[in-house]
Amino acid sequence: MITTDSVHGAPTWLDLGTPDLDGAVAFYEGIFGWRFQAGGAETGGYGMFRLDGKTVAGGMTVTPDQGAPAWTVYFRTADADATAKAAEQAGGTAFLPPMDVLDQGRMAILGDPAGATFGLWQPGLHTGFGHVTQDGGLNWVELYTSDVAAAEEFYGAALGWGTFDVQFPGGSYTTVNPAGQDEHAMFGGIVPLDADADADADADASEAQAGPHWVPYIHVPDVDAAAAAARTLGGTVRSAPVDVPGVGRIAKLADPYGAGFAVIKGDPEQK
């Protein structure tokens, strides 16, 4: 599961790039109750989303030439340079090579061999999440990719992940966990791009059109209410709320500028 502990290879941060930061702040406050604290001039406008005073994510303005609106998941490393090098040797790409972020830490933005973008974070003063798992916090991450086996191999080489297949009616789901830990430490899954084809053609089309990418799941007390709020606030329901046996209730959404994410209310029997 996702924790606030600093564990190598596990999700440690999440941030949003958006063309309209004020509009995005209003949207996410309306859905999750997040409040935004803008950084100073030295941060280039980067700021923090907080819930009850605890950090849950970051956010910044991006221009069209800098990239499309999106959420980026960062994975913890003790050495961003060494991990970036391992990723490149495994077939990945360094879109933004390792660099210091003031005294807060060291970061890099990479792409896996299929093209999914993710980040590395080597903690300095900023150690990562202050709130996860429960309402308003990151609860799960999911990689949509064209080749599950290749993704397992790449992230295993770059970040040391272990994998475990969970059996469901009609198939299996590949989960991932930090190096040296078992399936009880799983924090995410790897899914074929066409995985939803039989269950929800619209959802499948949405994920397939986006190409390989990461999706963050935020825990909410009411998935249907979150989906309704997204519509009201100008966002999109990419995949309607649905119950997943043994997991909980989920929906896939997008903010008004196109950044995709998902919401989940976990099955209490699984906690």
User: Do the domain assignments include residue 63?
Assistant: yes
What's this model's pTM, rounded to 2 decimal places? 0.94
110 contacts 136 by C-beta, under 8 angstroms: no
DSSP secondary structure letter of residue 146? S
Nearest to 39 by CA among 100, 95, 101: 101
**Residue 169, both tokens:** 């009616």
Q: Around Cβ 169, how many Cβ atoms within 10 Å?
A: 6
Better-scored residue on pLDDT, 131 or 245 = 131
User: Do the domain assignments include residue 1?
Assistant: no
User: Do the domain assignments include residue 2?
Assistant: no
The pLDDT confidence band at residue 51, using thresholds 50, 70 and 90, is: very high
Residue 151 shares a structural domain with residue 241: yes
> For position 42, what pLDDT does the model report?
83
> For position 196, what pLDDT does the model report?
54
**Residue 24, both tokens:** 């995005």
Amino acid at 169: P
Residue 103 shares a structural domain with residue 62: yes
> For position 154, what pLDDT does the model report?
98
**Residue 237, both tokens:** 């329901």
**Residue 92, both tokens:** 């990945």
Residue 90 shares a structural domain with residue 47: yes
pLDDT digits (tens, 9 = 90+) for 83-111: 999 999 999 999 999 999 999 999 999 99
Residue where a domain terminates, one of 91, 123, 155: 123
| Domain ranges, residue 38 | 11-123
Residue 143 shares a structural domain with residue 260: yes
Residue where a domain terminates, one of 123, 158, 193: 123
Structural domain count of the chain: 2
Average pLDDT over residues 139-165: 97
Which CATH number goes with the domain that contains 144? 3.10.180.10
Categorise residue 91: left if φ over 0, alpha if ψ from -120 to 50, beta otherwise: left
